[in-house]
Amino acid sequence: MHYSLGIDAGGTYTDAALVRDSDGEIVDSNKALTTYPDPLEGIKNVIDGLNPEYLENVKLVSVSTTLSTNTILEGTGFPVALILIGDHPVEKELPAEHVLFAAGGHNHNGEEVAALDLEAIEKFALQVKDKVSAFAISSYFSTRNPEHEIRARDLILELTGLPAVCGHELSQELGAYERAVTAFLNAQLIPITRQFVKSIISDITKRGINARLLMLKCDGSVVGIKDALKKPIETIFSGPAASLVGASYLSGLKTCAVVDVGGTSTDISSICMGVPDLSDEGAVVGGWKTRVRAIRMETTATGGDSHIWTVNRELFLGPRRVIPLAVAAVKYPDFLNNLKRTPMHAREDLGENIQPTKFFVRSGYPTGELSRAEAEVLEVIGEEPVSVTEINALIRKDVYPQTLDSLTRKRLVQAIGFTPTDALHVLGEYTAWNAEASRIGAERLARLMRMTLGEFCTAVKKRVARNMALHLLSYILAGVPYTSIAKILDGNYLAKFKLDIPVVLLGGPVRAYREELTKIIDAEILVPEHAEVGNAVGALVGKGIKRVEILIRPASLMSPDKDFLVFAPGSRLKFDTYSEALDTATTLGKKLVADYMQGCGLSENQVEISIDKRTILPDGWNHPPMETNLLVMGIGIRGLHV
């Protein structure tokens, strides 16, 4: 009997699920806290909780993660140098500190418009090689001829030995600026993705697991681990993609909307007839528009670990993530006693960082450049949580909340506080951790809000459910302002939203919100079995999907019946006749798809290939098409667990 293992590393939890290959049955699952800065311990912990008899017979491991996304959003990626070849717009903002504009590039037919300035590239590479971890190269019209990108890449590898990423390897679409940004972000993620993959390989190798390793992409398809290491940008939203395909698999629904409630955020997306709803635009990550195809989703910075705090009897939810009091009481042995003896603050002093339930602890990340105030505060924060009252006593003055903000942003300290997870512990609807710590925290905040314990925790739960409903409806009613949706949700009109599409909830404590959501919107809302590890299941059941786009056009419209150019990924070919060009393009497209699928472990009889041909033929044009676009698509027709 053979099994497949799915692993999803999220911002708060790392999930694992074991699936029996013969029938797709989920036979075991587990959750563990994600570990920082090295995810290896979290991966080890989650696999340790699985049945070792099943693990002995695992033949496939597939993974997904939000690690890449979080790295870009938090601005903690590795430094990268960017080389732009040809006529790139200089007025647009670029994400790189080290940038070179070099002569070279091609035109729309792939013909060289200027010689490549290898001397300038060599000088630049030697100047910055000790300041960066990788290079990104984007040449003008490289999708029509990648020659200059390839020559620059080979030179950089020879001179520096550092990874070099070419824009044409990541996208065949036009758009020089977006392709340059995509190449930069991809290069920035190579070291991070490599560390994550090494952590997975290290753990499964130590356990004697001999399995094929795949990774989920942000369009819901899977990729061989070698390709994932070359193109980590394509995995930036693999976590939300995993929740989408996992929800469809667990619920048995080919069409549904999905609300995935994590510790750090809530992601909303949808799937129609088994195909994820993909964005027409390239994925936007951290404000940078890319050429990466990804699922269309709505994300809110509200999750189970969002900070709950109060000022002037007003309740605030997030946006920052904190360690729940219930979790901290288990993780840190003396925390419960510290929480009990920490005094209440004066009401006029309250703010996001000044709360009777707020504590700080060192994160373990290496210390960079600090201001005098930051260094002073960080010195008194150790490996056991301390309150603001304790920090003030140790530095002998009142700490500035802005200093705590800055240390948190730099990920040098991690905050602990009251969360929706704590509210559910008090209500008895989720009891995975220490409920006493949650109750003490709730009592303190309820007193400030002048509510009973039950009233306060119920108010928190309702606020989270309303937030989930607001973002779900914003996703479905694309373009409708939040304020308009909120007016109906808040009862300002005698109306209620009704959805015809089923809604599937994923995440550890989501069952607690199902009833509350049904009060807000009229919809079929489902919480499938194994919903708490839906992302790990999704990492396994993503289909093998490969799209190859090839363009055919005459070399010159002045002689449209001869000399045809074929622009395929990584190559530019020339043929005497249109029929030769079309036949070769079709054969090449099928081969590229088949080779990719073979790398994903799918044989020829497991892959269904379709070809969509679109031509431009103006009225009265009695020649071969002015332009032919071939989209060759391969889909794994059986689930990867079979």
pLDDT tens-digit profile of 168-197?
A: 877 666 567 778 888 887 787 777 777 788
Residue 280 falls in which region: left (phi positive, over 0), alpha (psi -120 to 50) or beta: alpha
Task: Out of 456, 473, 506, pick the residue that ends a domain.
Answer: 456
Q: What percentage of the chain exceeds 90 in pLDDT?
A: 43
Task: Out of 426, 456, 486, pick the residue that ends a domain.
Answer: 456
Q: Which structure tokens are listed for 522?
A: 């009229």
339 inside domain: yes
Under 8 Å CB-to-CB from 91, ≥6 apart: which residues?
A: none
Interval 531-570: pLDDT, tens: 999 888 988 887 667 778 899 999 888 889 999 999 988 7
- In the chain the first and final C-alpha atoms are separated, in Å, by 12
Q: What is the mean pLDDT of the chain?
A: 86
240 inside domain: no
Q: Quick one: 561 and 432 in the same domain?
A: no
Closest by Cα among 302, 256, 275 to 526: 256
Q: Quick one: 316 and 451 in the same domain?
A: yes
Interval 441-496: pLDDT, tens: 999 999 999 999 999 999 999 999 999 999 899 989 988 888 889 888 888 888 88
The answer on pLDDT for 334 being more than 50 is: yes
Q: Quick one: 450 and 552 in the same domain?
A: no
Q: Quick one: 440 and 561 in the same domain?
A: no
Interval 229-274: pLDDT, tens: 777 666 666 777 888 888 999 999 999 999 988 877 788 889 888 7
Distance (Å, whole) CA 201 – CA 432: 29
Number of domains in the chain: 2
Quick one: pLDDT at residue 174?
Answer: 58
- Integer CA distances (angstroms), 309 to 91, 395, 407, in order: 43, 25, 19
Banded model confidence at residue 639, pLDDT cuts 50, 70, 90: very low
Task: Out of 456, 473, 501, pick the residue that ends a domain.
Answer: 456
419 inside domain: yes
Q: Quick one: 312 and 442 in the same domain?
A: yes
How is residue 263 annotated by DSSP?
S
249 inside domain: no
Distance (Å, whole) CA 589 – CA 152: 27
316 inside domain: yes
Q: pTM value?
A: 0.74
Q: Quick one: 318 and 419 in the same domain?
A: yes
311 inside domain: yes
**Per-residue 3-state assignment (H helix, E strand, C coil) for 341-384:** HCCCCCHHHCCCCCCCCCEEEECCCCCCCCCHHHHHHHHHCCCC
284 inside domain: no
Give the range of the structural domain holding residue 323, as residue numbers without chain letter: 306-456
437 inside domain: yes
Distance (Å, whole) CA 139 – CA 121: 13
